[in-house]
């Protein structure tokens, strides 16, 4: 294995599954010489950006959607992934794996590894997330409202080494959650201010371990799918949540669906939940989202 491949490993992803996946790959005698094994996101980001100063040809993320998000964010921050000279490989080993499913990557770590080391690339879009000089990148889905409250529940209830349980966290969040008050602009066109349960900016079709929030979303069409869920009466929620899980919610009266390139959101409440960015919290009440067409080259074989 040449030293132009850099492996980013989160050993705690998937309730520690990523550690076992990584050990199984190393036991194949592949000579994985350049690796960053790191649990802390900020430290991992710092080390990865340092590593990208070296002559790197590919980065392979071993972990969950958060690990992939970090790798992609660093590639784009270094202004090299967007230029197409560094590929991103993915070995899914986390709880959700929604992006890997959208890309139809193998579930077998060994098969996924072989794909990640291939030279056949698929260019995919990304989502630029900006707020008051802070920049983030989402590869799969960013969302405001309920998704941010779910992140807060997971942060309180999840324990190291235990699998994140998205559906129970969603149900728990719904008990006390109230819709957010916000104004929106989509592709420069203002929308009436109102109350919203969920505003999803989707590049991929699912999030939260398989919830089909934007079932028709394509990761390489140069557009984002905006799924805007209005102020659903609370008594309706037990009936509407299964529709979200199954991707049958887009034609209901409380849901607006638009494809576009930019969305600007201004929260009008003081206690607005954080923005969910590929499962990570991003504290912001005024935030803009934009498509980054063909931003990344994903190794698919």
301 residues of the chain, pLDDT tens digit each: 556 888 998 877 767 777 878 888 877 655 555 787 878 888 989 999 988 888 888 999 998 888 999 999 999 987 655 445 789 999 988 777 899 999 999 988 889 999 998 889 999 999 999 998 899 999 999 999 888 888 777 777 766 555 567 777 777 877 777 889 999 999 999 988 899 989 999 999 999 878 899 999 999 999 999 999 998 887 787 778 788 878 889 988 889 999 999 999 998 887 888 899 998 888 888 999 999 999 999 998 8
Point out which residues pair with 226 in neighbouring strands.
201, 258
CA distance 200 to 119: 33
β-pairing verdict for 121-131 and 255-260: unpaired
Q: Given this structure, which CATH class describes domain 134-294?
A: mainly beta
Burial of 26 (0-12, 13-18, 19+ CB in 10 A): middle
Tell me, yes or no, if the two domains 5-119 and 134-294 fold the same way: no
H runs (alpha helix) in 27-159: 41-51, 65-77, 98-102, 109-116, 146-157
pLDDT of residue 153: 75
* Helix, strand, coil shares, percent, the chain, to 5: 30, 35, 40
pLDDT of residue 160: 54
pTM for this predicted structure:
0.89
| Among candidate residues 254, 277, 256, the one with its CA nearest the CA of residue 184 | 256
Point out which residues pair with 39 in neighbouring strands.
none
Residue 119, φ and ψ in degrees, nearest 5: -105, -5
pLDDT of residue 83: 45
Burial of 94 (0-12, 13-18, 19+ CB in 10 A): buried
What residues does each domain of the chain span? 5-119, 134-294
Residues 6+ apart with CB under 8 A from 168: none
Domain 5-119 is of which CATH architecture? 3-Layer(aba) Sandwich (3.40)
């Amino acid at each position: 294995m040449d030293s132009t491949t850099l492996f980013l490993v989160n050993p705690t992803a998937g309730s520690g599954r990523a550690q076992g996946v990584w050990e199984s790959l190393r036991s194949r005698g592949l000579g994985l010489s350049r690796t960053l094994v790191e649990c802390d996101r900020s430290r991992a980001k710092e080390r990865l950006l340092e590593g990208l100063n070296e002559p790197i040809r590919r980065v392979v993320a071993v972990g969950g959607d958060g690990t992939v998000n970090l790798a992609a964010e660093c590639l784009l921050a270094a202004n090299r992934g967007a230029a197409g000279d560094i590929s991103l490989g993915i070995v899914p080993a986390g709880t959700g794996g929604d992006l890997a499913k959208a890309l139809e990557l193998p579930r077998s770590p060994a098969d996924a590894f072989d794909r990640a080391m291939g030279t056949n690339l698929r260019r995919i879009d990304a989502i630029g997330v900006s707020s008051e000089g802070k920049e983030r990148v989402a590869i799969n889905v960013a969302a405001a409202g309920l998704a941010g409250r779910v992140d807060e529940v997971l942060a309180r209830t999840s324990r190291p080494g235990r699998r994140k349980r998205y559906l129970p966290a969603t149900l728990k969040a719904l008990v006390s959650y109230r819709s957010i008050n916000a104004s929106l602009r989509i592709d420069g066109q203002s929308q009436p201010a109102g109350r919203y349960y969920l505003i999803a900016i989707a590049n991929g079709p699912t999030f939260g371990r398989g919830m089909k929030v934007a079932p028709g979303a394509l990761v390489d069409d140069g557009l984002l799918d905006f799924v805007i869920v209005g102020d659903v009466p609370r008594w309706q929620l037990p009936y509407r949540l299964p529709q979200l899980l199954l991707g049958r919610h887009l034609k209901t009266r409380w849901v607006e669906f638009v494809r576009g390139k930019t969305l600007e959101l201004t929260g009008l409440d003081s206690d607005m939940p954080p923005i969910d960015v590929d499962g990570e919290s991003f504290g912001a009440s005024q935030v803009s989202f934009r498509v980054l067409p063909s931003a990344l080259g994903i190794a698919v074989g």
